[in-house]
Each structure stands twice: as structure tokens, then as C-alpha cells.
Amino acid sequence: MRFHNRRQAGRELAERLLEQMGADDLAQAVVLALPRGGVPIAVEVARALRVPLDVLVVRTIGVPGAPEVGIGAIADDDPPLFDSVGLAAMHLDEHKLGSEIAGERSALYRNEGFYRAGRPAPHVAGRTVVLVDDGSSVGITARAALRHLRRQGPACLVLAVPVCSRDTARALRGEVDALVCLDQPAHRMPMGEHYTEFEQITDQAIREALRQLHPA
């Protein structure tokens, strides 16, 4: 399955959410997007459900010297979550990645401050929480986010993504109460391959989307 852009994927994802879970169960939900790519999709989902939108900033921990290769992820003040198989394959020790972790933690706080512009993080205890991204390939970022949210005691934790590789979807089902996904390809591909238009999302665009859809 190939989507035209993230907005179209978000509209289709919202329809699937309503079909799979029902409008009543989602009436008091909060939608949380994983920036940056999850935000345009989450905007469409939040609008369709008529619920507030916010973000959950998770930063990927990259391999030293190759930061584009993700080996772990952090959410808020939580301990970092690492891909143990990837660490072993690259002969890396998580205890020696302190500088990478510190750098990503600083960037996480900086991004959160800019996106929310002084607003507090949403209260999720006892609520239905729908976590949205533009897709999940390896799943380390989604897993870090989901475990962070689970510790806060949501009534129902949902991961909603347009595309998720089949093995990753299987692994993530144990982290959620519901997984809503439009396409589960057998093989992992770069996320941009699933979209005809895969535009860059700016920090300012994220901030503006939150301003419009976050309750005053």
C-alpha cells in the first residue's frame, strides 16, 4: 500500500480507528503525535475524532559516528531503551553511550519547550491515549513512547500508524491494548517509500498545529 501523503494517510487511519474501536470509546481520547512525521497524520486523526492533539517527544539515540543509525530511544526522563540485538551486532555497550544520550536528552527538552510554548504535558491517567506516527519499521521509538505512557496509567493505550512492518507489529502488540494499522508489509523499507509525497515537517509547523488543536 502506498499513500499519497501523510494527510491522506491520517484521514484513512482515523476511519480505521473509528471502525475498529467505535466512536464512544474514542470520545474522550487524547491523540499524541510522535514528531516530526507523526504530526500531520495526528492532526487528521484528532480532527476526525474531535479530540485534543499533543505531542510526545521521543529522541533516537544514534550510533557514535553514524547518528542516522538508531540504536535506542529516550522519552522524557525515562532511562534509555536500547535495541539489544543491534547493540550486540555493532559491538556497542550502552554504558559507553553517555554523551549520545545526554545530547539527545537536551534536544528532547528543547523541542518539548518549543512545541508546547509553556503548556504542560497532557494528563493521560485514566484516559484513552492514541499514539500516532507516520509508520514504524524497527519500532524502538514507538516502544519507548508506549512504555513511557503505560507507566502513567492510561485506561486504554492505542498505537495508530498507517504502516508497520509485520514483525514489528507482532512485537509491539504486547505493548498496547490496541494496534491500528492500515498496512503491514512483510519487509522493512525506508518510511518514505510508503508515501508519494514525503515532505519535511518543520518545528514551526508542529507548534502551529498544537496551537490550533490543543484546548485553551
215 pLDDT band, cuts 50/70/90, is: low
pLDDT in tens, 131-148: 999 999 888 999 999 999
**Taking residues 175-184, what's their average pLDDT?**
97
Spatial contact of 157 and 140, defined as CB atoms under 8 Å apart: no
CA distance 39 to 54: 9
Cell numbers describing residue 176: 498496547
- Amino acid 118: pLDDT: 87
Identify the three-state secondary structure at position 89. helix
Q: Is the pLDDT of residue 190 over 60?
A: yes
Helix H or strand E segment including 159: strand 156-163
